[in-house]
Amino acid sequence: MSQIRHALSVKRADDFAQWYQAVISEGDLAEESGVRGCMVIKPWGYGIWERIQRLMDDRIKAAGVQNCYFPLFIPLANFEREAEHVDGFAKEMAVVTHHRLIADGKGGLIPDPEAKLEEPLVVRPTSETIIGDAMSRWIQSWRDLPLLTNQWANVVRWEMRTRMFLRTSEFLWQEGHTAHADRDDALKETHRALEMYRACAEEDLALPVITGEKPENERFPGAVETWSIEAMMQDGKALQAGTSHYLGTNFAQAANIQYQDREGSQTLCHTTSWGVSTRMIGGVIMTHGDDDGMRVPPAIAPHQVIILPMLRDKPEDEPLLEYCEALRDALAGQTALGEKLRIMLDTRPGKAAAKRWDWVRKGAPLIVEVGSRDMEGSKVALLRRNALWNADNGKPNFDFTDRDGFISDVSGLLEAMQQDMFDEARARRDENIKRDCASWQDVVDFYSNAGAFPGWVEVQWSKPTGAALEAVVEQLKEQKLTIRNVPTNSAAADGSCIFTGDAAVERILLARAY
């Protein structure tokens, strides 16, 4: 087997941001589109999103939520009914004002003054307002509740600083929207969605997360409560990987979402919304990637096993191709992680070593090379993407194994890889959360000496609001820090808030974040 290494052009330790871009471009996940902040998601990157979408959609439907689709264009008046909501998104909204262009006489095009819309249309940044309109029509009685809907869609938020997958002007996501008879039922749904996101992140993406409530300043515009899952990237920064919002009756009042209760009175519904997006792919890259490219957890890999015959473009290749096709067919009968194996037989022209590194950079979990001698000995050469290198000699860590043994072992190999990737990421996260900062100066000192891997801190918190909270936010900005959430399972507060000196009521996570 060729030992030539085709690693990424950038190493994590040299420039993490550039390394991230290199993983995407050299792993053929996505590319720039020519429109600022909008990307072309290529087949391997989109295949990962399809896997996330499929696994998430199964969880959504299992909870009794039904998929719908709502328009991309939303009347501006819909947003104006909910002032806090529109204020939160105003700077990011793309607006359509004309429905036709005309020639300007200079070889260009301009909006036709006679085609101006009666009312501007906002290109969907989120759908609470237009779905609220639909709910106001669909809900009449207590018998119509709860109403549980979800849509898979694209949204547009005109970001000033963009980065592929993490923060783009257009991105793909799902957004759940539900209406309930009372606060308790709505909160139950808010937490069900949050738990669904935790399970999907940890079980499918091997992405360890911390669930918790966001503070007042980090809430979704118009929400009463916002809950999040937070993941630690390899550079120590936090990534908000998903959010679930209890909206109270704020949006119901704005959209007139009412129902007749059992006693005959008209009552406002309590609503929720929750969503995850293609940003999760960015989280997978920054959590699991290495200096050779992406490492895709088997549960979300478009192809879990890549079969690479060492072809020579000669008639003698035919028996080798038949051997590899038979191997593919035998593997197709196996299951792993509760599903049938996804297998790719790569017969593209070119040297096997070059194609191997193509799949290494993409992060395919298992790469199986088969040459004529392997065929004669009924063997395969197996390369595990999460254990690529031999620590003793620095060479690719090929396991020359029996063909039939590999077929019977493949399920266990993939399941162990999924678990190992999660355990590795969780250990790194847990080792890099500092929990003994007793003062703000301790936090400042910690981040001043943290270097390239800042990690997180968990500190005592008195839950200040209003002006007191604004002062804390400004204090955090000086260190480029944000409040991530109040961890659901953190230790009980037992001291003074490091910001106000008042008695702490809970503990919060602070971090630098994407």
C-alpha distances in Å from residue 273, one per residue of 126, 165, 248, 288, 304: 10, 22, 11, 29, 33
Contact 273, 245 (CB under 8 A): yes
Q: What is the CATH code of the structural domain delimited by 433-511?
A: 3.30.110.30
Residues in the chain, overall count? 514
CA–CA separation, 260 and 142 (whole Å): 6
Six-digit token pair at 7?
């690693």
In this structure, how many other beta carbons lie within 10 angstroms of the beta carbon of residue 105? 7
- Rounded-to-5 percentages of helix, strand, coil across the chain: 35, 30, 35
In terms of CATH, what superfamily is 19-102+121-288?
Bira Bifunctional Protein; Domain 2 (3.30.930.10)
Task: Assess contact for 240 and 227: CB atoms under 8 A.
Answer: no
pLDDT in tens, 193-227: 999 999 999 999 999 999 999 999 999 999 999 99
Q: Please give the sequence-ordered ranges of beta strands (E in DSSP) within 291-416, or none if there are none.
A: 305-309, 335-336, 339-340, 343-345, 366-370, 379-384, 399-402
- pLDDT tens-digit profile of 124-162? 999 999 999 999 999 999 999 999 999 999 999 998 889
Residues 13-66 have pLDDT tens digits of 999 999 999 999 999 999 999 999 999 999 999 999 999 999 999 999 999 999
**Least confident span in 3-17, 149-163, 251-265, 324-338:** 3-17
Angle at 287 between CA 125 and CA 354, to 5 degrees: 105
**pLDDT at residue 149 in the model:** 98
Q: What is the mean pLDDT of residues 364-390?
A: 94
In this predicted structure, the answer to whether residue 182 has a pLDDT above a threshold of 70 is: yes
Mean pLDDT, all residues of the chain: 95
Task: Say if strands 209-213 and 486-487 run parallel, antiparallel, or are unpaired.
Answer: antiparallel
Cα–Cα distance for residue pair 97/395, rounded to 1 Å: 60
pLDDT at 492: 87
Amino acid (one-letter) located at 235: D
Is the predicted pLDDT of residue 314 greater than 90, yes or no?
A: no
Residue 3 has pLDDT above 70, yes or no: no
**Identical fold at 19-102+121-288 and 433-511?**
no
pLDDT 10s digits, 222-259: 999 999 999 999 999 999 999 999 999 999 999 999 99
CA–CA separation, 499 and 504 (whole Å): 10
Supply the pTM of this predicted model: 0.95
Q: CA-to-CA distance for 272 and 312, rounded, in angstroms?
A: 59
Is the CATH number of domain 298-428 3.40.50.800? yes
- The residue extents of the domains of the chain are 19-102+121-288, 298-428, 433-511
| The pLDDT of residue 1 is above 60 | no
Model pLDDT for residues 82-132, shown as the tens digit of each residue: 777 777 788 899 999 999 999 999 999 999 999 999 999 999 999 999 999
